[in-house]
Every structure is written in structure tokens, then in C-alpha cells.
Amino acid sequence: MPEQQSPGSTEKLDYDPEDSRYDIYECHHCDNVALALGSDDPPMSCHGDPMKQVTEAEMRVEQPEVRQVLLQAFGLPKAGLDICLCVIGDGPLPASEVADKLGYDRSTVTRYLNELVDFGLLQRSTLNREQRGVVNMYHTIDIDEMRRETLIGFYVWAGEAATLIEEANVTKQSYLEENPDRELPDVFWDRFDDG
């Protein structure tokens, strides 16, 4: 099992098929590749046949870090992530207390809290404080629901990323087939920058 890395680490990881946290499968008949997370079940099937477990991968990837995954996959800026983690760790809290704890402007905190509620990572309820009136309180959603929603959200992001990579590979292959004597120009990747 890979060691936990500090934020910003650039250590590369090899795919380890013995790692029981996840498995990667591929179809014998097509380009379908699937990720199974923590599954002890029989392998998935495609075209009516069980998929084959991938046992080797040439490409090495950087060790993921939870903050970077949340920033990239869910589009949460640092302030939004800080606010979300503050409420998960210390909530339920009103926006004013979150702002005080983090040193952010209250309007910024309120905006991100509302976005996090819309996003499905936090919930909002009202608390009637006798002297100070009604206050919005922010708290985490049920942990099982959060686990499910964040995994599904990540898989949607990963699927979109995989589609983008496949489109880039197909476009690259077509270009090189049509221009066998030329190298791939740097501007090739520009068309994929904005999705």
C-alpha cells in the first residue's frame, strides 16, 4: 500500500493489482475499462463475458492528495474547501462563526456556504435565538449520503476526464495518420483546454 504523502508531493505511483482498495478491469472485445472500488465480487462483465483484471500499467501517476482531488474534481476553490471542512469538523455553525474561525469576510463565507448547500455537501437549517432572531445554521449531511454523493460526483468527473483523454488520443491518432511525416504541434492541445 502506498505511503501517505504530504501535500504537494510528486511521488509517482504504480498500479498495484494486489491493492484491495480498488481493481481495474478491461474488456476482451472493446476498449471498455472499468474501476471497481473495494469490491470482492466477481469481475464485471462486458459483451456477456467477465472483464479481465488489469495486472500491469506502464503509466505512473502522482499520489493523489484529498485537497487537490476536491479542488479539481468538484471545482471547489481553496476558500470553499476550507469553509466546507470547517463546518464538517466543527459544525453546526452560523456563517459568522465560520468567518471568525477562518478569518474570511462574512459575505464570502455566506456565498460559499450557500453554494455548498446547493452542491449537496452541506445542509442549512434555521435556529431561533431568542435575543438575536432567526439564524441560518450550516451542518454536514449524513455521512453515508456524503460518501455516496462524493463518490458518484468523482466518478462523473473521472468519466468526463476519461472521455476528454480518449477524444484527445483519437484526434492525435487521426492527425498523425493524416500527417505521417510531421510531429504533433504544440497547438494541438489548445483545443482541449476549455473542454
Cell of 181: 511525416
Domains and CATH numbers, the chain: 1-64 (no CATH), 67-143 (1.10.10.10)
Locus of grid cell 476550507:
82
> What pLDDT, on a 0 to 100 scale, did the predictor assign at position 88?
87
| ∠ CA 144-32-47, rounded to 5° | 100
pLDDT at 4 over 50: no
Locus of grid cell 459575505:
107
pTM of the shown model:
0.60
- 68-115 pLDDT, tens digit per residue, is 777 777 778 888 889 988 998 887 999 999 999 999 999 999 999 998
- 55-67 pLDDT, tens digit per residue, is 787 777 777 777 7
Reported in sequence order, the residue ranges of 114-191 that DSSP labels E, i.e. its strands, are: 122-129, 133-140
